[in-house]
């Protein structure tokens, strides 16, 4: 996995250190496919590692519901945590318009390298895709990678949540109601019908999508052999099962197993 910048790691730990006491996640591991990876997660939680607790529990100051999936490799001591804080009902707003200049700058500039290549027509297409029957909220999804008990990488996908204006927020037990998340990079590369495809070589250039049925995260990293690797993780939310596909140097490696879900 790619190396995690120290400034990001310090920020995660510093924020996590400000948490008020709450019940720690309860980790139970079987001796089957979860293997060493689950044992590493359990050890980190029992040691009150600030980074993993922040990933699994979020911040007590957050107004939305924090959701995390810890997905364990079936073969090696490696697991990934996909986590986000779902917006609360008051965070959703009516559709944005092209006149929302501040929002446009926030969504299509800043930490996303290559965004400046997007034409005004593509950005206008994004605004036109909003429906008056939907409500929206800006947010993000993070993926943290652990190997042998160490945090080795973190990727972030920025985007927005959308839900029908007339639906209850918590209609489904394992989701955020009928809300779905579409990451900006995912939208540009898969929905915008644009000739511009954004590269995934930066930690902020991560594709992500989430709805009531599944989670999808796609990113790239440089492995220990200094080769560019392409990693895709898909989680079936109803069962917690996941499939991970890594492509590197013309070879493809598949792994699958189970995720544990945490909600705070």
pLDDT tens-digit readout, 12-23:
443 344 444 678
The Cα 153–Cα 155 span in angstroms is: 7
Is 155 within the bounds of a domain? Answer: yes
Is 211 within the bounds of a domain? Answer: yes
pLDDT of amino acid 123: 75
Is 90 within the bounds of a domain? Answer: yes
**Tally of domains in the chain:** 1
The Cα 163–Cα 167 span in angstroms is: 7
Q: Which residues pair with 15 in a beta bridge?
A: none
Indicate the pTM of the whole model: 0.83
Convert 96-155 into a string of H (helix), E (strand) and C (coil). Answer: CCCCCHHHHHHHCCCCCCCHHHCCHHHHHHHHHCCCCCEEEEEEEEEEEEEECCEEEEEE
The Cα 192–Cα 190 span in angstroms is: 6
Is 174 within the bounds of a domain? Answer: yes
Name the residue with tokens 């994004």: 126
Indicate if the pLDDT at residue 264 is higher than 60. yes
pLDDT of amino acid 165: 85
How do residues 135-188 score in pLDDT, each as one tens digit?
A: 998 899 999 999 999 999 999 998 889 988 887 655 443 444 568 999 988 998
Is 58 within the bounds of a domain? Answer: yes
- Are the C-beta atoms of residues 236 and 259 closer than 8 Å to each other? no
**Average pLDDT of the chain to the nearest whole number:** 82
Indicate if the pLDDT at residue 9 is higher than 70. no
**φ, ψ for residue 189, nearest 5 deg:** -80, -20
pLDDT of amino acid 51: 96
Is 136 within the bounds of a domain? Answer: yes
In terms of residues, how long is the chain?
264
Indicate if the pLDDT at residue 262 is higher than 90. yes
Indicate if the pLDDT at residue 223 is higher than 80. yes
Is 151 within the bounds of a domain? Answer: yes
Beta carbons within 8 Å of 52's beta carbon, 6+ residues apart: 41, 44, 45, 81, 146, 151
Indicate if the pLDDT at residue 120 is higher than 80. no
Indicate if the pLDDT at residue 11 is higher than 80. no
Lowest mean pLDDT among 224-228, 230-234, 239-243, 250-254: 224-228
Beta carbons within 8 Å of 36's beta carbon, 6+ residues apart: 76, 77
Q: How far is CA 218 from the centre of its chain?
A: 9
How do residues 40-79 score in pLDDT, each as one tens digit?
A: 999 999 999 999 999 999 998 888 889 999 999 988 899 9
- Give the number of other Cβ atoms within 10 Å of residue 119's Cβ: 11
Is 1 within the bounds of a domain? Answer: no
pLDDT of amino acid 259: 95
Give the domain range for residue 100.
6-263
């Amino acid at each position: 996995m790619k190396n995690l910048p120290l400034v990001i790691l310090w920020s995660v730990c510093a924020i996590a250190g400000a948490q008020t006491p709450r019940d720690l996640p309860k980790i139970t591991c079987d001796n089957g496919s979860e293997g060493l990876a689950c044992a590493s997660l359990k050890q980190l939680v029992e040691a009150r590692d600030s980074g993993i607790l922040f990933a699994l529990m979020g911040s007590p100051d957050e107004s939305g519901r924090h959701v995390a999936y810890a997905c364990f490799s079936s073969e090696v001591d490696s697991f990934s945590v996909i986590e986000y804080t779902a917006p609360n009902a008051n965070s959703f707003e009516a559709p944005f318009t092209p006149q929302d200049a501040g929002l446009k700058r926030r969504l299509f500039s800043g930490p996303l390298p290559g965004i400046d290549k997007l034409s005004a027509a593509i950005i206008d297409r994004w605004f036109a895709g909003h429906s008056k029957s939907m409500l929206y909220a800006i947010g993000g999804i993070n993926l943290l990678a652990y190997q042998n008990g160490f945090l080795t990488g973190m990727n972030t996908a920025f985007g927005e949540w959308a839900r029908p204006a007339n639906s209850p927020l918590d209609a489904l037990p394992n989701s955020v109601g009928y809300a779905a998340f579409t990451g900006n990079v995912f939208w540009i590369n898969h929905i915008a019908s644009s000739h511009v495809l954004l590269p995934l070589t930066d930690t902020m250039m991560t594709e992500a999508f989430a709805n009531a049925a599944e989670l999808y995260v796609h990113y790239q990293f440089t492995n220990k052999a200094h080769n560019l690797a392409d990693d895709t993780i898909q989680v079936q939310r109803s069962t917690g099962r996941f499939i991970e596909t890594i492509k590197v140097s013309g070879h493809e490696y598949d792994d699958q197993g189970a995720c544990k879900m945490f909600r705070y």
